[in-house]
Structure 1
Amino acid sequence: MRPRRPARSSRSTASSAAKHRKAHTMPKGNLTVLGLGAMGSAVAARLRESGYATTVWNRTAAKTEPHVAAGSTAAATVPDAVAAGDVVLVVLLDHASVREHLEPAAAGLKGKVVVNLTTTTPNQARSTAAWAAEHGIAYLDGAVMAVPGMIGTPGSRLLYSGDENAYAIARPALETLGAAEFTGADPGVASLKDMALLSAMDLMFLGYLQAFAMMRTVGTSAADTAAEVEAWLAAMLPHGKGIAAIVDGGTYDTGGQSVDFDRFGIASLITASREQGVSAVLLEPHRKLLEELAAAGHGDSDWPRIIDRLTIHR
């Protein structure tokens, strides 16, 4: 699903492994969680249950009460919360909220590790990392590939990028939340990977809705159609690797399904939808991309050449 990284030298690999082993042997320290929405509450609870002394802060103080009752310590202000933790996990509403609350506490964060689990864009993550570096803060950006109820379960997966030393320090605590993956030194990569996977998911589920809308015109329930879609997708998913190979090859001349073939296929889907009184608004962008490729003389190319139309040249 992700590009293969260049192999590290044995010395580098051994050094990294040793560093991570050392992190695992560190005694449990004090952690701070800023933000107690659904995800922040799940994170704080899991860390506390895992034996970490946990200080919590939330703009609405009442949300700290269940955590205090369960053994956490509540801080009245962000600077107080920051002072109590060796590692500060930030789970706020958005990028603006992160900067609003961290910037006034910069002096207290110096020399500490900040793990930002707030949903941000790649460039927002890079911006916060640059700010943190200017203030002597070890910054790690995180992306949570789970819903709150999954935190701490085998299905929970979290991506991290940024300061590798910060990751080594925080890793034992982070691994209590779910499978932890360090994606590299670029602070924006965890967010980028999160957004890429979510984009694939969103488009897939929009496809479900298109199928539901079409089939309910003949009285088929969404539940019955969902079962059919799942079986069909299970059969089709292995072909994703073949599409990836075509894209990585970059020539688009394998002789497989062409732009012209797909162009006529998508036209049929659009016509069938409209005949049933169903909008084709979700399908039209696909046809537009294919028509643009055909007009540019690429009708005989493999259809994954669409990816070239998705790149905005800056």
Structure 2
Amino acid sequence: MTKPATTVLGLGAMGSAIATRLRETGHDTTVWNRTAAKTEPHAAAGAKAAATVTEAVNGSDTVLVVLLDHASVREHLEPAAAELAGKTVVNLVTTTPNQARETAAWASEHRITYLDGAIMAVPEMIGQPDARLLYAGDEHAYDTARPVLETLGAAEYTGEDPGLASLKDMALLSAMDLMFLGYLQAIAMMRTVGTSAAETAAETERWLTAMLPHGKGLAAIIDGGTYDTGGQSVDFDRFGIASLITASREQGIRADLLEPHRRLLDDLAATGHGDSDWPRIIDQLTIR
């Protein structure tokens, strides 16, 4: 069975990994990159190297965009809009939800079928079962492009709103970012007594692995919406966070990463919610 011809625009680390995976799994692959020299190894391995974006998209019904940022997507697709009409464009550039929606609206104006994608993986994971790729937008386009998309990793369709894949990506990356900031706080504190970063990181990993399942309990409290389960209260958590801040400062370590948590708790206590379950701070995160 002939596999769909596919174009990859952008040959950074991720774009190169995607192009290589497609070529090695039997897809007729065309590549383009702003710096033409990056296409040479792919051409030598059997891909077609195009000199322009217009040339690159002509031979494929599915176009994967793996460029630098949101601005570069429009910059390079705009001149090829006429050639892209009737094709499926899958944007794998990291963008915000509203940027994804903006590109989808532009694509619709030019009769381009659009899918927004988010890659929950590093380049080395592409093609492996642990690589998770999220997609949002035209469901028919997702079904059509699925043989290509599943070549790259586990494909997950999140819904017709083009911003949903990006939103989930950004939410999960936010959780990851805050988690690793916690690693740095712990390492900074323990380094003051000569403990290596490697040792503290290993201790932190063991501790967080044991604690992560409790996240489901927090979710149940939030979904319940009453914040009156009798669990850990705002006032109790204020005491705990204050102790963490004091301990950091006693060791000569700044507590900038911890203080926003305390401010949210203090705001709740000041409005009479000291007895509430502490996850009520989620309501403080909404911009009013």
| TM bucket, shorter chain | over 0.9
Which amino acid in the other structure matches residue 196 of structure 2?
S
Aligned to 2:158: 183
The offset of 1:227, in angstroms, is 1.5
Aligned to 1:233: 208
Q: State how 1:247-262 maps to structure 2 within 5 Å.
A: 247-262=222-237
1:70 and 2:45 correspond: yes
Q: Which blocks of at least 5 consecutive residues in structure 1 are unaligned?
A: 1-25
Quote the Cα distance in structure 2 between the aligned partners of 1:118 and 1:176. 18
CA shift digits 1:180-228 (9 cap, x unpaired)? 0000111000000000000000000000000000011111111111121
Aligned to 1:208: 183
Quote the Cα distance in structure 2 between the aligned partners of 1:76 and 1:222. 47
Aligned to 1:117: 92
Which amino acid in the other structure matches residue 162 of structure 2?
P
RMSD, matched Cα = 0.8
1:199 and 2:174 correspond: yes
Quote the Cα distance in structure 1 between the aligned partners of 2:168 and 2:2. 31
Aligned pair count? Answer: 288
The offset of 1:232, in angstroms, is 0.9
Paired residue secondary structure (2:151): coil
Which amino acid in the other structure matches residue 295 of structure 1?
A
The offset of 1:131, in angstroms, is 0.9
1:166 to 141, 161, 171: 141
Normalising by structure 2, report the TM-score: 0.99
Q: Percent identity?
A: 81
Aligned to 1:222: 197
Aligned to 1:271: 246
CA shift digits 1:84-127 (9 cap, x unpaired)? 21100000000000011111111100000000000000000001
Aligned to 1:23: none
Q: State how 1:1-314 maps to structure 2 within 5 Å.
A: 27-313=2-288
Normalising by structure 1, report the TM-score: 0.91
Quote the Cα distance in structure 2 between the aligned partners of 1:126 and 1:60. 28
Quote the Cα distance in structure 2 between the aligned partners of 1:166 and 1:69. 31
Which amino acid in the other structure matches residue 168 of structure 2?
K
Quote the Cα distance in structure 2 between the aligned partners of 1:30 and 1:225. 49
The offset of 1:297, in angstroms, is 1.0
Quote the Cα distance in structure 2 between the aligned partners of 1:269 and 1:29. 56
CA shift digits 1:282-313 (9 cap, x unpaired)? 00101111111111111111000010010113
Quote the Cα distance in structure 2 between the aligned partners of 1:197 and 1:27. 36
The offset of 1:27, in angstroms, is 3.7
